[in-house]
Structure 1
Amino acid sequence: MPRERLIIGTFGDISTRKSPAGRYLARTRYRDWDGHARLVQASGVTAKAADRALKAKLADRDLFQPADTTLTPDSLFSDLVTYWLEDIDLEDRISRTTRNLYERNMRTLVSPAFDNLALREIGVARCDKFIKQLAKISYSRAKQARVVLRLALELAVRHEVLPSNPMEHVSRLYREPHIPNALMAPEVNVTRAAIAQWESAADHTSGPKPDGQLGAIIEVMLGTSARIGEVLAIRRRDLDITSPVPSIRIACTIVSRKGE
């Protein structure tokens, strides 16, 4: 009768023999996620030790295998980062600015702590501790790191490299209450005076020479609460100075892209 096929994730009978070197070898066939049964073996100083070593090896053999066989649970996190960025470029769903921001946050905030870890070594406790330690330094950095780390590990789950995403169980971030800093009228007037002095100076030995725009830019920022990139992107058609109440339409911003 034909031998019964193993269920995926299970192994057959274990055979043990003594090698010429005096150590014992235990071996069996294990059916991997792709359906192929492969020979797995381990050695030990005694038959029982070899048997235990083999079973430990089988227990550690993850059922979840990636669609791309170059990435496995034993791959380094740095390999996942490369894989993740390539996947983002392949999907081409987010803007180039967001993509570059993701890469910057990953390289500067997350990679230094995770690059030398195998994917199977990254668990909830490690991720939770990392985010909390980063939050002590900066809430904003912790929030940015949390986003990219979750996205990268989520890709590993979708491609069956990891069984679950540890970031789904990390505790929430809590921001300490803070009072926003705002310029008072005397400080605004000091800023205006400094700009006027800089623009009217005859000699500029260092720094950019004034072009007469900075004062106007500051006044528009004060009057609209718009950010610098939004103010610099205002076009003629965004202005309405004929209405009883003049207005500015904030519809654009300046984008600086890496390498462009």
Structure 2
Amino acid sequence: MARPPLPLGTPGTISVAEEEPGSWVARCRFRDHDGVTRRLRKHGPSKTAAKAALHELIQQRQRGKAGSAGGLTPASRFREAAELYLAKVDRKREDSTHALYAYHLNRTVLPALGALQLRECTVARLDAFLEALESRYAPSTRRTLRSIVSGVLQIGVLHEALPANPVRELDRIEQPKGLAKKKPRGLTVDERQALLDWFDQDSDDDRVRRLQRVARAAELPDLVRFSLGTGLRIGEALAVRRLDVNLDGVPVRGQDGPLRVPVVAIAGNVTWVKGKGLVRHDGKSEAALRVIPLPRFAADFLRERLAQPGEDGWPLFPAAGRDGRITYRWPSNVRRTLRSVREEVGLGWMTPHTWRRTYATILDDEISLTDRMKADLMGQADFLKNTYVSRGELHADAAVLLDAALVA
């Protein structure tokens, strides 16, 4: 039976022999990336030196003909593929995504996998790596880490350094048994009213009154109303500019004839990026770029806000930078202020994303809107009920309906 060929870019068994006193030669077969197997040899003054010289020659051939433009081979390290992967992410994705992936790579992935050759990134090793993360990270974070590892190894596949992506053979990352998935929770009618009343009414308590002043200085009352009326992510709400709001409205056909609906165009997001600070980008997907109709209560307070002096390009919720110029508010500062006041309203669990869930829950109760319409309004590919829609609120009207149906 014929000897099977060596894999592309790999050497055969290395032999070392002394040709004459003080002169050693190391030999092996090497299958180049053109498919031709060649004999390589290197001399040295010692057995170790000859073998080291041959190893260096092998590495040169692996790097050189695998692709003169920085190609990978099965012997390339995981970290080399990671560099190419990050460069690709930098070209095609937003700065925030690149920063997140770089953070996870440097903090978690490369310390464990960076020194492995691509051929050593087997299904078993990758499965052990992800299993070891179960005690450190939530399932959502581990899915992100798995996606990053898959992206790096897919670069190896594209360079023909791997026959297939081993991550595809791994089991899905599931919620741990016995640990219930956290249910989404929005604000009920009573909670919404209590929150807005707390913002608007001055307390007799000096400490509470100071907290109310802090909330108003951070523009939380208007920001909460705006978020409840639009369902925006906190970064999207803070990225809205004055010019993005059209209170004159766009013409639409209603049941009673033509009418104009005030709208806000969502054309960006603000987020923190390491090395760059606060960055405004144009959104991560086409679904994120959308136009949202404004309810009357939102249009009313926005009309008052836009009547104040300001330039069209200014943020709708501006902040003063260190140099005194108008700039965007930091989402982290909004979250910090919210944490300082939410206990006073009995809503210690509330975050800015709660306002988005509240919006989604209100939309879900409206049967005239299809799921596609709801997804468009929220800037998503699909309307994710299990992620955003709050459940468990008392529906007292059900008792009235049953009385009408069952009582003679």
Question: In the aligned structure 2, how far is the partner of 1:248 from the partner of 1:257?
Answer: 27
| Kept after mapping to 1: 8 A contact 2:245/2:265 | no
Residues 9, 118 of structure 1: CA spacing in aligned structure 2 closer, same or farther, 3 A cutoff? closer
Mapped partners of 2:119, 2:66: distance in 1: 13
Structure 1 residues 20 and 130: alpha-carbon distance in aligned structure 2, compared to 1, 3 A threshold: same
2:383 matched to which residue of 1? none
Q: Structure 1 residues 161-170 or 226-235, which shifts more? A: 226-235
User: Mapping of 1:1-260 within 5 angstroms?
Assistant: 9=7, 17=17, 27-34=27-34, 35=36, 37-39=38-40, 66-67=66-67, 68=69, 71-89=72-90, 92-135=91-134, 137-175=137-175, 177-189=181-193, 191-192=195-196, 195-196=199-200, 210-211=216-217, 213-232=219-238, 233=240, 235-237=244-246, 240=249, 248-249=263-264, 251-256=266-271, 258=273, 259=276
**Cα-to-partner distance string for 1:142-195 (whole Å, 9 max, x where unaligned):** 121122111111001111222321112111223464421333445445544554
* SS of alignment partner, residue 256 of structure 1: strand
Conserved 8 A contact 2:199-2:215? no
Please say which of residues 141-150 and 6-15 is displaced more in the overlay.
6-15
> Which letter does structure 1 place at the counterpart of 2:173?
L
Q: How many residues align?
A: 233
AA partner of residue 148 (structure 2)? V
Distance 2:247 2:124 in 1: 51
One-letter code of the match for 2:40? L
Give 1:120's aligned amino acid.
Answer: R
Higher strand residue share:
2
Query: 2 CA distance for matches of 1:250 and 1:126?
Result: 47
**TM-score normalised over the length of structure 1:** 0.64
Rate the CA distance shift 1:239–1:73 in 2: closer, same or farther, 3 A: farther
In structure 1, distance between residues paired with 2:272 and 2:101: 13
Residues 52-94 of structure 1: per-residue CA shift (max 9 Å, x gap): xxxxxx9xxx9xx7325674433332222223223444xx333
Q: Is the 8 A contact 1:110 1:149 kept in 2?
A: yes
User: Separation in 2 of the partners of 1:112 and 1:126?
Assistant: 14
Whether the aligned pair in 1 keeps the contact of 2:245 and 2:264 (CA below 8 Å) is no
The answer (yes or no) to whether the contact 2:25–2:41 under 8 Å persists in 1 is: no
- CA gap of 1:238–1:26, structure 2 versus 1, over 3 A, is farther
Q: How far off its partner does 1:13 sit?
A: 11
Contact 1:9/1:33 (8 A) holds in 2: no
| CA distance in structure 2 between the aligned counterparts of 1:240 and 1:195, rounded to whole angstroms | 29
Deviation at 1:122, TM superposition (A): 1.5
Worse overlay, 174-183 or 244-253: 244-253
1:147/1:212 CA distance change after superposition, 3 Å: closer
> 2:358 maps to what in 1?
none
More divergent stretch after superposition (241-250 vs 28-37): 241-250
- Change over 3 Å in CA distance of 1:17–1:225 after alignment to 2: closer
Q: CA deviation at 1:204?
A: 7.0
Change beyond 3 A, Cα 1:226–1:135:
farther
TM superposition shift of 1:7: 6.5
Q: Is the 8 A contact 1:30 1:40 kept in 2?
A: no
Deviates further, 176-185 or 119-128: 176-185
Query: Could you tell me whether the CA contact under 8 Å between 2:249 and 2:263 is conserved in 1?
Result: yes
For residues 9-35 of structure 1, give each alpha carbon's deviation from its aligned partner in whole angstroms, at most 9, with x where no partner exists.
5989998856678xx988443332244
- Helix, strand or coil for the counterpart of 1:223? helix
CA 1:16 to 1:212, structure 2 compared with 1: closer, same or farther past 3 Å?
A: closer
For the 8 Å contact 1:77–1:118, the answer to whether it is kept is yes
Residue identity (%): 26
Distance 1:8 1:125, change over 3 A: closer
Deviation at 1:138, TM superposition (A): 0.9
Unaligned runs of 5+ in 2: 43-57, 280-408
What letter corresponds to residue 151 of structure 2 in structure 1? L
Stretch of structure 1 that moved more, 66-75 or 135-144: 66-75
Amino acid at match of 1:32: D
2:164 partner amino acid: S
Distance 1:9 1:152 in 2: 21
Output the CA distance in 2 between the equivalents of 1:17 and 1:82: 39
Alpha-carbon shift at residue 108 of structure 1 (Å): 3.4
Q: Is 179-188 or 119-128 further displaced after alignment?
A: 179-188
Helix, strand or coil for the counterpart of 1:103?
Answer: helix
Bigger mean CA offset, 130-139 vs 149-158: 130-139
* RMSD of aligned alpha carbons: 4.7
> Could you give the per-residue CA deviations for residues 102-157 of structure 1, whole angstroms, max 9, x where no partner exists?
32333334223222333332211122233344355312111211221111110011
